[in-house]
Structure 1
Amino acid sequence: MSTYEDDHPSTANPEIESPGFSLDDILDELQATGGEGIFLVDSQGRRIVGEGLVEAMAGTLGRIHGGASDKYISSLPSLTSQDISSTTDDACAICQTPYKILLHEEELNLALDSPAVSTDNLGIVQIGSECRHFFCRRDAAQWLAKSNSCPLCRKKCDLSVETPSTSSTTGTPGTAPPNVLPADPRQEAQDLLASLFSGSFSTPAPPTDASAAREEEDTSFMSMYG
Structure 2
Amino acid sequence: MFKKELWLPHDFTNHFYHGSIHNLVFLDLEFFPLYLKSQKVEQRIFGYTLTRLVEDPKQQYIKIQLIENIPEEKPLIQEIFQDIKILENKVFIGFNIIHSDLYCLHKRAKALKLKPTCQHPLVFDLYDPKQSRYRGGLNGLFEYLDINIDKQINGMYIRRNAKRVFAQKPRASDILNTIYEYCLEDAKNYFHIISNWHYKFERVNSERFIHFQFKSKKRRRRR
Normalised-by-shorter TM-score class: under 0.3
Greater strand share, 1 or 2? 2
TM-score (norm 1): 0.22
